[in-house]
Amino acid sequence: MSRMMRLLAGLARTALTFAVLVLLGIVAFYVTVFVVSTGAGLAGYDPSGDFVVLSASLLVVAALLGGIPLSAAASEANDGGDSRPRAGFE
pLDDT tens for the chain, residues 1 to 90: 699 999 999 999 999 999 998 888 888 889 999 999 999 999 999 999 999 999 998 988 888 777 777 766 556 555 555 566 666 655
The alpha carbon of 34 is separated from its chain's Cα centroid by a whole number of angstroms, namely: 18
- Beta carbons within 10 angstroms of residue 56's beta carbon: 20
Rounded CA-CA distance 90/74 in Å is 12
Predicted TM-score (pTM) of this structure: 0.61
CA distance 21 to 29: 12
Q: Are 30 and 38 in contact (CB under 8 A)?
A: no
